Every structure is written in C-alpha cells, then in structure tokens.
Amino acid sequence: MKRILVTGGAGFVGSHLCERLLNDGNEVICLDNYFTGKKQKIIHLLDNPYFELVRHDITQPFYIEVDEIYNLACPASPVQYQYNPIKTIKTSVMGAVNMLGLAKRIKAKILQASTSEVYGVPDIHPQNEEYWGHVNPIGVRSCYDEGKRCAESLFVNYHVQNDVLIKIIRIFNTYGPKMEPDDGRVVSNFIMQALQGKDITIFGDGQQTRSFQYVSDLIEGMIRMMKTDDDFIGPVNIGNPGEFTMLELASEIIDITGSKSKIVYLPLPQDDPTQRQPDITLAKEKLDGWEPTIPLREGLTKTIAYFERLQKEDEL
C-alpha cells in the first residue's frame, strides 16, 4: 500500500483519480481548497478508512509524509481560470514550488498535470511533445497557459538541480461524469443546452476541432505514467487522437439526447485554437501500450446520463 497525495482531489479529474487509487489498494490524502472542487464529488469516499480529506490551498506550504504526489490543483476551464487570473497563475507557479519542495524534502515521486494549452494556437498538427508551442503570453488565456508552462519548467529544474523524481503529462480535452454543468467546457455547455432545449451555441463556424478523451482513459494514463522508470520524466501527451469538429460534437449530443435544440453561431473567442489533436506515439511507447478505449458516443452517453441525474436532483 502506497500513501498518495492528490492535490485538487475534489475536482473533476481529481475525484476520479482518488477513487481509482483507493480501488487499487492505496491510502489517499485528498487536498483541495474548493475554489473549483466540491466535497460532493468525493463525499462517498469519506467512509473509507484509507481516505483522508484536507482543506488547503497549495499556494501555501503543506507538510506531510507520502510516497507519491499527483499535482492536479488548478482551475482548468476558461470560465474558471479567467474568473480570477492572478489566483490561477499563483496556483500553477507557487503551487508547483510548494509541492516540489515537499517532494524534495520527503523524497516522494511527483506528477504534474500539465495541459495541451501549453501548445497554444498550434502551428503543427497534430501536436507532439517536441513542439514548443505558440502561446500569447499576455492574452486572456495566458494565466493558465503560461502558468502551466512555468510549472513544467520548475518541475524539470527541480529534477535536474535537486534530483526530484518527476513525471509530466499534458492532458488534452477530457470529459465525463462529475464535470460541472456551468464550467464553460464545450461538452458540458452543449449537453446542458440540449437537455434544457436551448439553442446550442457554437463559436466560430463550427469547423474548429477538438479531441475528446473520456476521464477513465486519462486516469489510466496518469497511473501508468507514475509507474514508468525514473529516467522517463516526460512530458507525454495524454489524450484521444480522434478529431471532431464542434458541429459534429453538437450533432452527436442532439442525437443522443433527442433534443429539439437549434444550433446558433457566435464569434470565436480570443486565442481559441482552431485545431487541437494529440500525437500519442510517445504515450503508446512508454506507457505500456496505453491508448484511449472509450469511443466518443459511449462516453457522451454516460456523461449525459450523469447530467440528467443532476437535473432531476435539482428539481426535487
């Protein structure tokens, strides 16, 4: 049994990770300040004697003895991270410093949940780990993009200078149950609009693409990354290379829900990438043949069922 710290553990991805780590026979300490995370996402775990919940903000130092750290703490959708951009960049940068300092002191292995946003508006397609990115350092998304880029730099330099055991993954668009209905992500936006019979709002002409990864595929990739040899630090893309236009996504959601929603078009936001698709060649090679297994329609069906349950609970 390992003792594992998950920062941001009450968030969308973090709550799924905590559950999986417990199911794998580990002791889990979930750390969250509830800026975007919610206790409801992990409340079913509180009766487990090997699960511990701590309210804490990683911009402040934290002291504990653990074997591994998964650093997930940071608002991750544009609506969330643009709400308080200074808080967002402090969480990425100061949070990385504090968690790396902890890992250095206790000799723990630490994984950084970085993001495909480090590639910005990409000049190459699909994006591989050798690509340095094309990011606007002063744009509306820079608090998140540059915060994560700086965190990657901190991780690499703590590894080189202080021999900290690190792992870096770059997460591409992920969806699934426990997403927030109002988080501003395209999947949750489209699902809620369809379930409520509202117009589905597509920004731009609907031909911009994303690659959608179901959350269980991401969790499997994260756990495999943590198990790799110490000399492989990443970064490595974790995402689904299946590429869909916004129009295709909206049409699929309308079909599954049976909604009468109409599609309307709005101007494209600043610095919104027109293409985003991971090259997962490195992940397949280094993560024991890892690749996504959940097709888009199957994942959307499970996610829609979750949002339908939320709606019914709100109506009670």
CATH of the domain at 308: 3.90.25.10
Residue listed under structure tokens 């979930």: 30
Residue 212's pLDDT is what?
94
Residue-level pLDDT at 316: 61
Both 157 and 305 in one domain: the answer is: no
Indicate the DSSP class of residue 134: B
CATH number of the domain that residue 234 is part of: 3.40.50.720
Which conformational region is residue 173 in: left (phi greater than 0), alpha (psi within -120 to 50 degrees), or beta?
beta
For 103-129, write each residue's pLDDT tens digit.
999 999 999 999 999 999 889 889 999
- The one catalytic residue among 70, 81, 119, 144: 144
**126 and 80 in a common domain:** yes
What residues contact 228, with CB distance under 8 A and at least 6 apart? 167, 286, 287
Residue entry with tokens 């329609």: 297
Helix crossing, 186-195 with 296-315: angle to 10°? 60
Residues 223 and 262 in one domain: no
Phi/psi for 241 (5° steps) reads: -75, -5
- 104 by DSSP, 3-state: which? helix
pLDDT digits over 191-241, tens only?
999 999 999 999 888 888 889 999 999 999 999 999 999 999 999 999 999
Q: What does the block give as tokens for 254?
A: 């309308």
Nearest residue to 103 via CA among 148, 60, 70: 70
Bridge pairing between strands 209-210 and 200-203: unpaired
pLDDT for position 228 = 98
Q: Which domain holds residue 145?
A: 3-173+215-238
pTM, entire model: 0.94
Q: Which of 148, 280, 271, 146 is nearest to 208 (CA)?
A: 271
- Residue 99 shares a structural domain with residue 163: yes
Rounded to whole angstroms, how far apart are CA atoms 126 and 278?
6
Q: How far is CA 314 from CA 181, 305, 311, in A?
A: 12, 14, 5
Whether residue 66 sits in one domain with residue 31? yes
Structural domains of the chain, count: 2
Those residues of the chain that have pLDDT short of 50 are none
Q: How far apart are CA 279 and CA 128, in angstroms?
A: 5
122-127 contacts: CB < 8 A, separation 24 or more?
122/273, 122/275, 122/276, 125/275, 125/277, 126/241, 126/243, 126/277, 126/278, 126/279, 127/237, 127/276, 127/277, 127/278, 127/279
User: What is residue 3's predicted lDDT score, i.e. its pLDDT?
Assistant: 98
Dist. CA 181–CA 263, nearest whole Å: 19
Considering the domain architecture, whether residues 252 and 229 belong to the same structural domain is answered as: no
Residues 106 and 231 in one domain: yes
17 and 153 both lie in a single domain:
yes
144 is catalytic: yes
What pLDDT score was predicted for residue 206?
Answer: 86
